[in-house]
Amino acid sequence: MNKEKSNRQDAGRVAKYLSGEMTGAESAVFEAELTVSEEGRADMEHVKKQWSAMKGYQGVTSPDTRKAWDKLSRRLHNEQLIPAQQEVKPLFMNAQLKIAAVLLILLVSGAVTYWMMYHKRAVEMVRVDTGAGENTLVKTLADGSVIYIAHHSSFSFPQEFGSQSRHVVLQGEAFFDVASNPSRPFVIETDRALIEVLGTAFNVKTEQGDGFELSVDRGRVKVSLKSDPSNYLLVSAGEKVSTLRNNLVKSKHDPGPAWYQQRMQFKDEPLRHILDVLNRNFSTNFVVADPATGNHKLTVMFDHETAATMTELICMTLNLKSQTIHGTVVFTEIREEAKPN
């Protein structure tokens, strides 16, 4: 019965999307789920075309609805989408019911496609969990966005984003510095809310149960309740929003010390990403002389380090050398000198 209920819910989401009844945030999440693979995008385009064709149906050509209904009935039983003890009997149908039958076939097909792609997406998502330590785990995503993940938190993201949107999932607390891309909204899903942004910097904190808080340092975001997407607020820099008795409440935000800059930890991150994060947050100007040098991966933690100490740690760990040119620290490879013949 749980599988039957799940498929009805999936069919409902497909119908809501195709009929244009979803909000912007809901559509972004839905499209992100559907555009993980080329096959998924192609399947959805096919269903869209069928839906559009049905909108223009005027009854000129009557479909063989009895045959279609029998085929659908057999498929529902074979795939165990309805209880086995129930018998689906064809009924006399007028023109409107004929259209409804064909639409039902399309919706079930779309629901099955969505269900398969949803589980494929779940497998392809990368999940990062942080422990009890006070370290801030720093991750740079494929689009250039930087996420600072607090302790006791879980963050899930795809290795590559879809063409329509950028969808991630957060449980716990993180600071987001999102790369701007107006054509692909960045959507954060939490237990209670959906957060839609284009390019900005803000902090999100969630707790089990009703706890949710978002504060914006730069830019503007849209926050909506998952239980009621029509209940949303636009939050600008210097403002924060939290939940109170299943409502969103906005107030002023006074940025304090940046917690995420303390004890920054990088795990198997390319050097170019690490240098970019350090340059964003500290008075440093680090570069690599050769792009290939920036591909070296590094696991390291910086805890109130000076620029000189950071430079030394990087050089020792990756066997590099550095030189300062007009205030810029340049990292280069150590080349072995050719031995004389």
Q: Do residues 295 and 274 lie in contact, with contact meaning Cβ atoms separated by under 8 Å?
A: no
Q: Do residues 253 and 216 lie in contact, with contact meaning Cβ atoms separated by under 8 Å?
A: yes
Whether 291 is in a domain gets the answer: yes
Whether 340 is in a domain gets the answer: no
Range of the domain at 116: 2-124
How many helices (H) and strands (E) would you count in the chain? Answer: 7, 19
Dig out the tokens for 227 from the structure: 């239980």
Q: Are residues 135 and 198 in the same domain?
A: yes
Last residue of a domain, one of 124, 150, 175: 124
List Cβ neighbours of 308 (8 Å cut-off, separation of 6 or more): none
Decide: helix, strand or coil at residue 67: helix
Kindly report the CATH number assigned to the domain that includes residue 297.
3.55.50.30
Q: Are residues 72 and 161 in the same domain?
A: no
- The kind and range of the H/E element at 321 are strand 320-325
Dig out the tokens for 286 from the structure: 């680090």
Q: Do residues 194 and 174 lie in contact, with contact meaning Cβ atoms separated by under 8 Å?
A: no
* Beta-bridge partner residues of 168: 188
54 closest CA partner among 8, 116, 109: 109
User: 44: how many CB neighbours lie within 10 A of its CB?
Assistant: 21
What is the model's pLDDT at position 88?
Answer: 45
pTM above 0.75, yes or no: no
List Cβ neighbours of 208 (8 Å cut-off, separation of 6 or more): 191
Whether 77 is in a domain gets the answer: yes
Q: Do residues 82 and 88 lie in contact, with contact meaning Cβ atoms separated by under 8 Å?
A: yes
269 closest CA partner among 123, 148, 125, 180: 148
Kindly report the CATH number assigned to the domain that includes residue 154.
2.60.120.1440
What is the model's pLDDT at position 132?
Answer: 86
Beta strands in the chain (DSSP E): 125-129, 136-140, 146-149, 154-158, 166-171, 173-177, 186-189, 193-197, 201-206, 212-218, 220-225, 232-236, 239-243, 248-252, 264-270, 286-288, 297-302, 320-325, 328-333
Whether 45 is in a domain gets the answer: yes
Phi, psi of 47 (to 5 degrees): -65, -40
Whether 230 is in a domain gets the answer: yes
221 closest CA partner among 255, 188, 173: 188
Q: Do residues 10 and 27 lie in contact, with contact meaning Cβ atoms separated by under 8 Å?
A: no
Dig out the tokens for 330 from the structure: 């340049």
Whether 228 is in a domain gets the answer: yes
What is the model's pLDDT at position 262?
Answer: 87
Structurally, the chain folds into a number of domains equal to 3
Last residue of a domain, one of 124, 143, 170: 124
What is the helix, strand, coil percentage profile of the chain, to 5?
Answer: 35, 30, 35
What is the model's pLDDT at position 60?
Answer: 43
| Local confidence pLDDT in tens for the 341 residues of the chain | 454 555 555 556 666 666 666 665 566 666 656 554 455 555 666 666 665 655 544 444 445 556 655 665 665 556 555 444 444 444 445 555 555 555 555 555 555 455 445 544 444 789 999 988 889 999 999 999 999 999 999 999 998 888 888 999 999 999 999 999 988 999 999 988 999 998 899 999 998 666 789 999 999 999 999 888 899 999 999 999 998 878 899 999 887 778 999 899 999 999 999 999 999 999 999 999 999 999 999 999 999 899 999 999 999 999 999 999 999 999 999 986 544 55
* Beta-bridge partner residues of 250: 241
Render 209-241 in DSSP notation, one character per residue.
SS-EEEEEEESEEEEEESS-TT-EEEEETTEEE
Q: Are residues 273 and 178 in the same domain?
A: no
Q: Are residues 135 and 246 in the same domain?
A: yes
Q: Are residues 168 and 150 in the same domain?
A: yes
* Beta-bridge partner residues of 202: 176, 216
Whether 76 is in a domain gets the answer: yes
Last residue of a domain, one of 196, 219, 252: 252
